[in-house]
Amino acid sequence: MKKRLLLSSLFVLLCFLQSMAQRRTITGTVTTSDGTALVGASVVVVGNRTGETTGPNGNFSISVPPNAKTLRISYVGYADQDVSISGQSNITVSMTPSATNLNEIVVTGYTSQRKKDITGSVAVVDVSDMKKIPSGNAESLLQGQASGVTVTTSGVPGGGAAVRVRGITSLGNSSPLYIVDGVESGTGLRDINPDDIESVQVLKDAGAAAIYGIQGSNGVVVVTTKKGRGKATVTYNMYLGSQQPLKGNVWNLTNTQGYAQAIWNMESNSGVTPDKRTGQFGKDPSQTGPIIPDYIIPEAAKNGDANTDPSTYDISSNQITKASKPGTDWFHEIFKPAMIQNHTVTVSAGSDKSSYLFSMNYFNQEGTLINTYLKKYDVRANTVFNIKDNIRIGENADVVYRQNPGFTNQNEGNSISFTYRTPPIIPVYDIMGNFAGTHAPHLSNSQNPVARQKRTANNKSNSWSMIGNVFADVDFLKHFTAHTSFGGTVENYYYYSFSPTPYNDAEGNTNPNAFTEGAGYNSLWQWTNTLTYSNVIGLHNIKVLGGIEAKKIYDRSFSAGRINYFSSDPNYLILNTGSPTGGVSNNGGAPYQRSLYSQFGRLDYQYNDKYLISATVRRDGASVFDKDHRFGVFPSVSAGWRISQESFLKGVSFFNDLKFRGGWGKLGSINNIGATNPYSLYASGAGYSYYSIDGDPQGATMGFYQSQFGNPLTTWEQDIITNVGLDATILNNKLSLSVEWYKKKISGLLFQKQSLIGNFAGGASQPVVNSGDIQNSGIDGSITFHGSAGSDFKFDIQGTLTSYKSEVVSLPPGYKYQDRNSDGSTRIGAFTRVQPGRAIGEFFGYKVIGLFQDAADVAKSPTQTAANPGRFKYADISGPDGKPDGKIDDQDRTWIGNPNPDFTYGLNINASYKAFDFSIFFYGSQGNQDVNYVKYWTDFPQVFRGGISNDALNKSAILVNSAGQPTTVTDPTAHVANPGATVPVLETAGGFSNSGAFNSFYVEDGSFLKLRSLMLGYTLPISPLKKVGIDKLRIYIQGSNLFTITKYTGLDPELQQSNLSNNSNFGIDFGNYPSNQKQFLFGINASF
């Protein structure tokens, strides 16, 4: 027996030695077309599972069988190459970028897949295109780069972007989940340096995003940052340039003479004859028009008076201001050209043993609005160490220091709004160089916008933030990989602001100065553990993933305010040196906690590279719900058929790849619920919880009152998503396209019903309940064409299209609709209505069908409050029985506009000729309407007497009597002399039929097309650069926001709501910080 065993062993050993003797070794190098080594490229023997990867300097060594004839070289982003090794022992392979990149590895939920194997809806963003827009917030760079994603940007330095994946999915927060290097980012992409980004994918449907469970319903943006590769390299990227504010008469306002004439007309049309001394411009029988005064003082406007003697000047009682007779252009007094610069230095290297990447970034954007800015300092370190062939450890860390004083972008009380609300007759400064203002009769009560902005120069808002993780991977038993990652985000912030006494304002000029200070921190930690099995068995390719994850969010903040400061010196402004407000210290604070615990799994299966199936399931538990309703299960399934691999299409050369796919799944959302919603809460405080225990009203004892009603039955919002798609690559891989249709039903909306319980002492807040449904459906599409003309000219054209329709299906019982107000909209009623059968955010008001022309027109029209010639005529839409009833009242309000676009689109064109490169990017939105609320202030002088538009002066109704002479609105013979007038007659009275109701007069076409970027670059010849240690040097010039094509009459048709988590009111213009201001840049890309 022993002899047989020995002989068998010798025989096997001889066979092994013989086979080894027959094998041979092939060595080689893999580089890019410009000679850069590719580390980690795959080298596989065709027809055999033998394979290696390239190491440092792109080198490899592989032992091949004697019958091996070909090696296949592959690398992410490059076309596979089959290289003959017959008669060769050493080869050099130069890789070229892939046109279609179907083998590109795409990072999805907790794993990665080849692009051609994806069955869910995943938008892969071209990062090189995305980075071409200069911005301090990477979220805004997604605009137009991914189908199915709508992004509304802001011009505020560092301002957030409203990112919506496949439309609005909630009445509250519809922002997507952001994952950076496998970790949830608590600050979105706000602090990520675009130069550090390697890839971006957007997971849009349940098949792709359901593995994120109750956090995936609004879509998931997955970002992977760069790792070190190849030889040690230093890169330096920078751009420097200027930003130009909008030019011209941006608000279409009159000068001082026109302003005075409009006031004159308004009072004349109303039969008002003010005393010359007390009226701003006055009139008497000898005057034929307004007289512009020389000075403005608190008593009145003056044309020469003892009180205008400079010796009588007193800043509080007799501020003397020389009138601005040409008129002050308030917009350009606070909007000035500004600088923007960005610098990134990166050091990186990588081998088969380890890799590292260190980067430093400095970004400084001065706002065109004075005293707005963003300064950002960013340091990143990404490392990976292969401590054994099967064990890898590493970390990703990004630390950011940010200086960014806040600015409320959309609010009628911001500085931008005061540029159209402040009369042009007021200059910036009075005769003594102090700020001028409205502290005089008949000049409205606006605030000097220059004073507002310059007084905020010392306000601060600074923060430190960090996002990162440490991780380890272990490969074992050939097909298994265990992964663990612990990380999260931490942010510490601090702010303070000082508001001096506005001595120059009509209102509040005796108010005490005030100081506010606050600080806080936000923290999120996440521990993820997964186990992956991956194997190829014949024609079957199987990958199974299982994992558990725990997250905890903990935030805490405080703020305090004081008044009556002796000095405005920032070194003096601390809480201890001020006085309590009303004798009571104004202090506040808020904690927040939320925990999640999850188990999840995923199966990816493909047969013969032809039939694809993916399935995911996740079980989430969230602390924001009661223990009996805390856990939910979220499954999905999707499938794909690569029909181009079928035998009946093998001979069809037109199709390089053709895939049908579809999926179904369920997700959830907890974005719109507080941490303590299940519980009833109690508090104590003056005025609410003092009780007379012994019956003596003078001996009250402080107790508690109910501050919140809890609801233990609340659960998550639930999304059911169906998705069908087609992906095709044709024309010898030159043209690729993807088209998808989806339907998404969101049920159990988290809705705070104010009518559930009556008011109680202390104003206890009502609980959030699940009630109401929304449905979204739409089409996403993208197309890419790769072309060339000869060997030197190459070009790429890429387009994206996003179209969605959102519809409210149902509201809570007892609600037929809900009218919703935006900031300031209560002046003329609610702007929007939420109602079943309509889209979220639709504008609801009276439909203007013209102006009343004369008394006969008023008499024959439906009854309307305050109807008079020259005033708005509204359409009779409905009555109590749903039909027109001859009376204009609340039942005649109707749908007058929709801020949701029919579609948005992006178009990237990139071209290169020899050493020159060119790119251009357009972005557009079609079919959306905007509310130009600015017209409420500029077209109706009776409202405010601030800035007055040229339309109000030149396109308002002119009333004449039967003799053709100018007359007043009360004259029974009055009729409109200019039937083409579009603005109501100027008059002192405001009411329902002119300035007192929200109507279609304010609604305008908000469609637009913007040239977002135009870039021309040149790469210098490499030979002379090598002599001074430079591997590559590219210089470029760029223009951004070079033009906007639109019919909208405001500053910018792209309107972002002030509260990015509020979806009920958007597309409303209060005077937004425009995002379409031109930028001109010079940039350098260098590597050493």
Other C-beta atoms closer than 10 Å to the C-beta of 359 total: 22
Tell me what pLDDT residue 50 has.
Answer: 66
Residue 282, pLDDT score: 54
Query: Is the separation of the CB atoms in 636 and 615 below 8 Å?
Result: yes
Per-residue confidence (pLDDT) for residue 361, from 0 to 100: 98
For residues 607-623, average pLDDT: 96
Range 725-749 average pLDDT: 95
Q: Is 10 helix (H, G, I), strand (E, B) or coil?
A: helix
Mean pLDDT in the chain?
89
Instruction: Check: pTM over 0.75? Answer yes or no.
Output: yes
Which residues pair with residue 805 across a beta bridge? 777
Residue type, 190: R
Residue 13 predicted with pLDDT over 50? no
Would residue 84 count as lying in a domain? yes
**Residue 1056's pLDDT is what?**
82
Lowest mean pLDDT among 172-181, 822-831, 900-909: 822-831
Asked if residue 48 has pLDDT above 90, the reply is: no
Mean pLDDT in residue range 83-109? 78
Distances (CA, A) of 384 to 378, 390, 467, 472, 726: 20, 13, 17, 9, 37
Q: What is the pLDDT of residues 455-489, one digit of tens each?
A: 988 999 999 999 999 999 999 998 999 999 999 99
> What single string gives the DSSP state of each residue in 832-893?
EEE-TTS-TT-EEEBPEEEE--BHHHHHHSPB-TT--TTSEEE-----TTSS--SB-SGGG-
Q: How far is CA 257 from CA 270, 294, 309, 743, 986, in A?
A: 20, 13, 25, 57, 16
Phi/psi-derived region of residue 508, left when phi > 0, alpha when psi is between -120 and 50, beta in every other case: left
Q: Examine the pLDDT at 16 and tell me if it is beyond 80.
A: no
Per-residue pLDDT, 34: 60
What number is the average pLDDT over the span 243-250? 97
Report the alpha-carbon distance of residue 1016 to residue 1027 in Å, rounded.
Answer: 26
Q: What are phi and psi of 953, to 5 degrees?
A: -75, -40
In a domain, 284, yes or no: no
The per-residue pLDDT for 424 is: 96
CA 193 to chain centroid: 16
* DSSP assignment string, 201-233: EEE-SHHHHGGGGGG-TT-EEEEEE----SS-E
Q: Is residue 562 included in any domain, yes or no?
A: no
Task: Give the domain CATH number at 39.
Answer: 2.60.40.10
What value does the CA radius of gyration of the chain take, rounded to a whole number of Å? 34
Query: What is the dihedral sign for C-alpha 677, 682, 684, 686?
Result: positive
For 615-633, b/e burial (b = at least 16 CB within 10 A) is bbbbbbbbbbbbeebbbbe
Give the residue among 420, 324, 438 at the shortest CA–CA distance from 941. 420
Instruction: Decide: 990 and 1009 in contact? Cβ < 8 Å.
Output: no
* The predicted structure's pLDDT at residue 289: 77
The answer, yes or no, to whether residue 270 has pLDDT greater than 70, is yes
DSSP output for 473-530 = EEEETTTEEEEEEEEEEEEEEEEEEEE---TTSSSSTTSPPEEEEEEEEEEEEEEEEE
pLDDT tens, residue by residue, 394-414: 999 999 999 998 666 567 788
Is 529 in contact with 549 (CB distance < 8 Å)? yes
Residue 735 φ/ψ, nearest 5 degrees: -120, 125
**Cβ distance 723 to 206 under 8 Å?**
yes
Q: Which domain does 77 fall in, by range?
A: 15-95
Report the amino acid identity of residue 873: K
- Do the Cβ atoms of 555 and 524 come closer than 8 Å? no
pLDDT band at 298 (very low <50, low <70, confident <90, very high): confident
Count of structural domains, the chain: 1
Q: Are residues 282 and 303 in contact, defined by beta-carbon separation less than 8 angstroms?
A: no
Q: Is residue 61 part of a domain?
A: yes
153 domain residue, yes or no: no
pLDDT, residue 822, reads 58
The answer to whether position 262 is within a domain reads no
CA end-to-end span of the chain: 68
pLDDT of residue 1062: 60
Q: How far apart are CA 677 and CA 403, in angstroms?
A: 34
**pLDDT tens-digit series, residues 879-914:** 999 899 999 999 999 999 999 999 999 999 999 999
Average pLDDT for 562-574: 91
pLDDT at position 759 is: 46
Burial string for 119-150 (b: 16+ CB within 10 Å, else e) reads bbbbbbbbbebbebbbbbbbbbbbbbbbbbbb
> Is the residue at 73 inside a domain?
yes
Token duo for residue 588: 């506040």
Give the percent of the chain with pLDDT over 70.
90
Residue 582: the pLDDT is 66
Q: Please tell me the distance from the alpha carbon of residue 446 to that of residue 937, in angstroms, as a whole number.
A: 11
Average pLDDT estimate for 542-570: 94
Total Cβ atoms within 10 A of residue 1018: 13
Strand 975-976 and strand 1003-1005: the pairing is unpaired
Give how far Cα 795 sits from Cα of 76, 751, 1018, Å: 21, 50, 15
For the cut 90, the answer to whether the pLDDT of residue 328 exceeds it is yes
DSSP 308: G
pLDDT in tens, 1001-1024: 999 999 999 999 999 999 999 888
Confidence of residue 756 (pLDDT cuts 50, 70, 90): very low
Question: Taking residues 79-103, what's their average pLDDT?
Answer: 77
* Model confidence pLDDT, tens digit, residues 936-951: 999 999 888 899 999 9
Q: Report d(CA 196, CA 1022) in Å as an integer.
A: 25
Tell me if 682 sits within 8 A of 703, measured CB to CB. no
Structure confidence by residue, pLDDT tens digits, 695-705: 666 656 677 88
Residues in CB range of 427: below 8 A, 6 or more apart: 321, 322, 323, 324, 328, 436
Q: Distance between alpha carbon 702 and the CA centroid of its chain, in Å? A: 46
Longest dimension (CA), the chain: 136
Residue 299 has pLDDT above 80, yes or no: no
Extract the tokens encoding 830: 């609610």
Asked if residue 424 is part of any domain, the answer here is no
Listed in order, strand segments (DSSP E) in 24-167 are: 24-32, 42-45, 51-53, 59-64, 70-75, 78-84, 90-95, 105-107, 112-114, 122-125, 149-152, 162-165
pLDDT category at 268 given cuts 50, 70, 90 is confident
